[in-house]
Amino acid sequence: MEAFIPMNFLRITGVLLLTAWIAAAETRVRIKGMRSKSEGQLIELMGDRLAHVEGDPASASRADDAAFLLTQVMRKDGYSDVSVTPRVVNSREILLTVDEGTRLSLGTVEIRGIEEEDADRLSKLYKRPALKDRPIGSGSEPFREEDIQTGLSYISQDLNAAGYWQAEAVLTNRETTETGEVNVVIDVKQGPLFRIANPKFTSTDGRGIEESREAASAFIGKRATTANVNGMRVAVQEAFIRQGYPQANIAMIRTLEAPRYLPEFTIDLGKRVRLNQIHIEGLKRTNPKGIRQRVEHMEGDWYDEAAMNERLRQFLGTGAFSSANVETTEVGEDRVDATLRLEEARAKEISLGLGFDSYEGPLFRSTYTDRNLWGELVGFSTGFELSARGVLGEVKLSNPWLYGSEYSMTSRLYALSYAHEGYSTLESGADTVFSRKFGKHYKSDLLFGYSIVNITGEGIPLRELGETVFTHPRVSFTQTIDYRDNAILPKNGWYLKMPLQIGAAIGDDTTGYLKGGISGGWYHELNKKYGVSLGGNMGFLIPSGDSEDVPIDLRLFNGGARSVRSFPERELGPRTQDDDYPTGGEASWTISSELTRVVSGPVSAVAFVDAGTLDRAFDDFGASDVEIAAGLGLRLNLPIGPVRLEYGYNLTRDANEPAGALHFAIGLAF
């Protein structure tokens, strides 16, 4: 009779045998003899490196491996004299006995020969090698001999990056305390600050020298920081890749003749190629038509790699993609195909935000966003903002490339309920903005808007409010010229903004108006600690009828965190006689100057002087007394902009005017 064993039984038996074999093969590593660390802490420090020891039965070779690993971990943690003795207890257990010796830890790091603020920064930089790959809660930084030269090189590289190319850092003293702390003293010789001199150009075939000289000219005379040196090299490189030389080889070396940094370029343009076809890969939700519209004009022309990279940055800027890159393939003697590889990102999100402003009070914002609506790279957002003064709800659609052009369009529906001093506003409406950038520094915006407005007096007499129930059609055109190095946290450069608006308040009495002005700022970094800036604005409102008919919401106001800072928000200028509420005006100007000093890291102190006026009627422009403020403040520079706490003192105080005002705000003062 033939025996029959079911397959399920065989499978179950095999699994049980495999499980038993794995359990039998596992080896436990035990550690004893440590005084300063627990067994669990050491096992954690050894991490995955123990896997090959624990995964097999214990043996002498596995025990030696475990001892070697523990010795390396201990020495890396500052135990330079550690000794580890291994022993196989049984087939499933290894015992490591430790004689830890003395642990050396990094104590104080004193940097001499440099300003205090830079010394603190360089001290932290020197400690980085000791902090690398250390688990949280693993104790003080270890002192290791091999970290000395690494830390010194970090200091030298940092000073080189700032333009001090002959800087030296030398460890001149070290003392070990009874507790094992090693305190070190490092002397820094900063040397001269180098500036970029006229470069020297050499070409393998004589081509490209004039173009290179022109591209590098903008950097001559600037500090020879790593950013400026790399910027010059990239500018020379892009001068050719924009002309169809994607394989151009631009090599740069330098000669130091203190305080001159002398760049030397060797130029090999290679072969010039045309772009044949562009292929797009990686899209799942996104319609490729929008991508193709942005790049198809490049086909058949000399291959401009810099322009292609700029297009990729624009694609990433929509938030619809997490990565974007391009690869080229030769398809002929002087032609290439380009393949765009795009990886789509998560386009939808809900965001919540909290904030505070000295005028608005506490702020809460909730927004739902879809950065790739219908797969067409259209941005959609809806949400509301709630503050102590009111609530704003809006729905917004934005198209970064309208019909594949360089123009962007943003349309918005909104409803606003807001309470100012002495009156409140209920407004709902829609507007659309068409924008375009011309080059890197000029931008224009054209806005069409229409809204319905209802103003209610809450202290201000009706005669001071102007038209209170009206519709508000308007068209505005704004030009911006921006040469700042950073629009959020500028250190150098300048910008100008020039808005001009035509509109009408259509109610019981229709009032047309022309509203415009100019604002801007200039910023200059004196050195690593100090910076100066000048800024201001001038605005005007010219009504077609009587000034009294202009709705208060359309008038200009002065005073606050972004104007004359000795006054609370909007409270400089004409006021009601009975209840002392601000009523706004038709002509205003403000000018400000600031001196900033870095205190530590992102924290800066600022001293400022503001001056300005506000006239009730445009015809009276310049008739009011000038108000002057002087003040101090602190700023925390964050990626979203500076968080500012400032107090402005009123130097021209009259009766019924405040002695000064405290402001808390986010964003630039001008």
Residue 560: how many CB atoms within 10 A of its CB? 22
- Asked if the structure places residue 244 within a domain, the reply is yes
Which of residues 81, 99, 117 is at a domain's end?
Answer: 99
pLDDT digit string, tens, across residues 357-383? 889 999 999 999 999 999 999 999 999
pLDDT digit string, tens, across residues 385-432? 999 999 999 999 999 999 888 999 999 999 999 999 999 999 999 999
Q: Which CATH number does the domain housing residue 126 bear?
A: 3.10.20.310
Domain that holds residue 461: 401-666
Same domain flag for 553 and 656: yes
Same domain flag for 70 and 184: no
Report residue 351 CA to chain centroid gap.
18
Q: 644: which residues sit within 8 A by CB, 6+ positions away? A: 561, 606, 633, 634, 635, 663, 664, 665, 666, 667, 669
pLDDT at 571: 94
pLDDT at 133: 62
Distance between CA atoms of 370 and 422, rounded to whole angstroms?
Answer: 39
| Whether the Cβ atoms of residue 457 and residue 422 lie closer than 8 Å to each other | yes
Same domain flag for 651 and 591: yes
Q: How many domains does one find in the chain?
A: 5
Backbone angles phi, psi at 485, to 5 degrees: -75, -20
Which of residues 143, 170, 189 is at a domain's end?
Answer: 189
Report residue 103 CA to chain centroid gap.
41
Mean local confidence (pLDDT), 587-595: 97
Residue 74: how many CB atoms within 10 A of its CB? 25
- Residue 595 confidence class, pLDDT cut points 50, 70, 90: very high
Percent of the chain having pLDDT more than 90? Answer: 68
Q: Tokens for 634?
A: 């602190």
Q: Tokens for 321?
A: 């993609």
pLDDT digit string, tens, across residues 2-45? 444 444 444 544 444 444 444 445 788 889 988 877 888 788 77
Distance between CA atoms of 229 and 155, rounded to whole angstroms?
Answer: 19
- The structure's pTM equals 0.72
Mean local confidence (pLDDT), 262-268: 94
Residue 322: how many CB atoms within 10 A of its CB? 11
Same domain flag for 499 and 621: yes
Same domain flag for 520 and 423: yes
Same domain flag for 411 and 554: yes
pLDDT at 444: 97
pLDDT at 199: 94
Same domain flag for 501 and 547: yes
Q: Tokens for 298?
A: 């490049």
Q: How far is CA 458 from CA 238, 386, 424, 467, 585, in A?
A: 61, 20, 7, 15, 19
Same domain flag for 454 and 332: no
Sign of CA dihedral 29, 32, 34, 35: positive
Q: How many CA atoms lie within 13 A of 520 on its CB side?
A: 17
- According to DSSP, the residues that pair with 650 across neighbouring strands are 629
For 490-501, b/e burial (b = at least 16 CB within 10 A) is beebbbebebeb
Q: Which CATH number does the domain housing residue 653 bear?
A: 2.40.160.50
Same domain flag for 470 and 501: yes
- Asked if the structure places residue 372 within a domain, the reply is no
Residue 106: how many CB atoms within 10 A of its CB? 22
Q: Is the pLDDT of residue 592 over 50?
A: yes
Which of residues 217, 237, 268 is at a domain's end?
Answer: 268
- Asked if the structure places residue 466 within a domain, the reply is yes
pLDDT at 574: 92
Segment among 447-451, 460-464, 575-579 with least mean pLDDT = 575-579
Mean local confidence (pLDDT), 481-495: 95
| Whether the Cβ atoms of residue 450 and residue 472 lie closer than 8 Å to each other | yes
| Whether the Cβ atoms of residue 193 and residue 258 lie closer than 8 Å to each other | no
Same domain flag for 449 and 597: yes
pLDDT at 135: 55
Q: How many CA atoms lie within 13 A of 487 on its CB side?
A: 8
Identify the three-state secondary structure at position 289.
Answer: helix
- Asked if the structure places residue 349 within a domain, the reply is no
Write the single-letter amino acid at 451: S
Q: How many CA atoms lie within 13 A of 33 on its CB side?
A: 16
- What strands, in cross-sheet order, belong to the sheet with 335-344? 274-281, 335-344, 321-332
Segment among 19-23, 57-61, 610-614 with least mean pLDDT = 19-23
Identify the three-state secondary structure at position 643.
Answer: strand
Query: 633: buried, middle or exposed (CB in 10 Å: 19+, 13-18, 0-12)?
Result: buried
Could you tell me which of 413, 414, 352, 355 has the C-alpha nearest to residue 387? 355
The verdict on whether omega for the bond into residue 568 sits within 30 degrees of 0, i.e. cis, is no
Same domain flag for 288 and 258: no
| Whether the Cβ atoms of residue 447 and residue 476 lie closer than 8 Å to each other | yes
pLDDT digit string, tens, across residues 99-124? 988 888 999 999 999 988 789 889 99
- Asked if the structure places residue 255 within a domain, the reply is yes
- Asked if the structure places residue 382 within a domain, the reply is no
- Asked if the structure places residue 377 within a domain, the reply is no
Mean per-residue pLDDT over the chain, rounded: 90
- Asked if the structure places residue 394 within a domain, the reply is no
Mean local confidence (pLDDT), 521-538: 94
pLDDT digit string, tens, across residues 341-359? 999 999 999 999 998 888 9
Percent of the chain having pLDDT more than 70? Answer: 95
- Residue 614 confidence class, pLDDT cut points 50, 70, 90: very high
- Residue 138 confidence class, pLDDT cut points 50, 70, 90: low
Same domain flag for 12 and 125: no
